[in-house]
């Protein structure tokens, strides 16, 4: 089911999201809805608080061969290097800004079945991991923008 995506003026986007305890049908439905909503909006990442659900759940799909990534209770365990690129957010359409992010990210997260998985991602995926994890802590990329750029 397509859900409504909240915009940056929503106070919910400043909340700290809670850890998922149950890897059940409710979680799977949330993940499925998030993916459907993200795809329809033509995005590459979505965090649950963006649809008003304060849970530590993320979906990412940058369109590469990695495909869909589902992160539940993600923790970034290491990051190094740096990249400065324009990024955007489905909660703030028609804007993009330059944000400094690490080039490499290591993270661990549960999948929808409660299995712990480890990731080493770089470039755009590293940026997406950081951006979406920030959402779970009430941090928005606009807080980190060095310079706004014209939307293409
Ligand atoms: Ni975002």
Closest to 60 measured CA to CA, from 1, 113, 132, 111:
132
Distance 117 CA to ligand 1 centre (A): 23
pLDDT score of 64: 80
Q: Which residues of the chain have pLDDT under 70?
A: 151-152
Handedness of CA 46, 91, 93, 34 (dihedral sign): positive
CA distance 98 to 116: 32
How many Cβ atoms from other residues are within 10 Å of residue 63's Cβ?
8
Q: How far apart are CA 131 and CA 152, in angstroms?
A: 20
| Dihedral of alpha carbons 48, 33, 73, 75, sign | negative
Ligand 1 midpoint to CA 40 (Å): 15
pLDDT of residue 68: 97
Q: What is the pTM of this model?
A: 0.97
Catalytic residue among 26, 70, 132, 147: 132
Q: How far apart are CA 52 and CA 119, in angstroms?
A: 26
Question: Which residues lie at CB < 5 A from ion ligand 1?
Answer: 89
118 C-alpha vs ligand 1 centroid, how far in Å? Answer: 22
pLDDT at position 152, please?
Answer: 61
Spatial separation of the C-alpha atoms in residues 77 and 108, rounded to whole Å? 7
CA–centroid distance, residue 89 to ligand 1 (Å): 4
Residues 125 and 135: beta-carbon distance below 8 Å: no
Give catalytic status of residue 87 as yes or no.
no
């Amino acid at each position: 089911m397509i859900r409504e995506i909240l915009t940056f003026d929503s106070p919910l986007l400043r909340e700290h999201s809670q850890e998922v305890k149950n890897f059940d049908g409710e979680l799977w439905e949330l993940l499925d809805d998030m993916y459907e909503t993200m795809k329809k909006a033509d995005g590459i990442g979505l965090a649950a608080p963006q649809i008003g659900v304060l849970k530590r759940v993320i979906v990412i799909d940058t369109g590469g061969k990695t495909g869909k990534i589902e992160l539940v209770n993600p923790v970034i365990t290491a990051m190094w290097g740096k990249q400065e690129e324009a990024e955007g957010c489905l909660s703030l359409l028609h804007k993009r800004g330059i944000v400094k992010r690490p080039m490499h990210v290591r993270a661990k997260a549960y999948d929808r079945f409660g299995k712990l998985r480890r990731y080493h991602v770089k470039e755009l995926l590293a940026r997406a991991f950081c951006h979406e994890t920030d959402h779970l802590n009430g941090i928005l990329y606009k807080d980190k923008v060095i310079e706004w750029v014209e939307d293409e």
